Amino acid sequence: MRPHSWRGSFCSRISDVSDKGNAVTADQHRNSGEVVRRTGFNRLLFTVVNSGKGLRFLLRKEEAFQLEALLACVLIPVAVLLPVSPVERLLLIGAVFTVLIVEVLNTSIEVLTDRVGLDRHELSGLAKDLGSLAVTFSLILWTVVWGTIVYQHWPFTAQ
């Protein structure tokens, strides 16, 4: 059996989420805990609320996402200011968002794996390793896209 290669348990990072006992999510009725099926504007509103909870968790507890979000805050304005074509600008910004999206999915896999069980299991480790591989691929994509476009236009001159 392989040594334990995946990042540690999320228990310490999500303790404030799980220690709330019978916490009610935004899509549950406050008294009964039943899932409420929302439609229309209410559904959109509660989607935004739940997405905000996820983003707040990532920004507070997930170090990799914090770093990638900081890079996004720098690179997206740089992409807007670079003298490149609109398609190249979309590729630059899209590569940044791809890294963020894949990191969110990777963190979801890690949290769910830890929720299922904290004991070391080969499949749990594999799930986390594969999520990490997906993040690595997105970072390679980001590097290739940015490197190719920036290299192609270097040195920058006003268009």
Enumerate the active-site residues. Answer: 103
Sign of CA dihedral 9, 12, 14, 20: positive
**Across-strand partners of 35?**
28
Check: CB of residue 79 under 8 Å from CB of residue 93: yes
CB atoms within 10 A of CB 110: 23
What residue has token string 């549950």? 28
- Pair of tokens at residue 127: 């799930």
All residues at 6 or more sequence positions from 61 whose CB lies less than 8 Å from its CB, including other chains: 13, 14
Which helix (H) or strand (E) element contains residue 29?
A: none
Distances (CA, A) of 52 to 46, 47, 55, 81, 130: 10, 8, 5, 28, 26
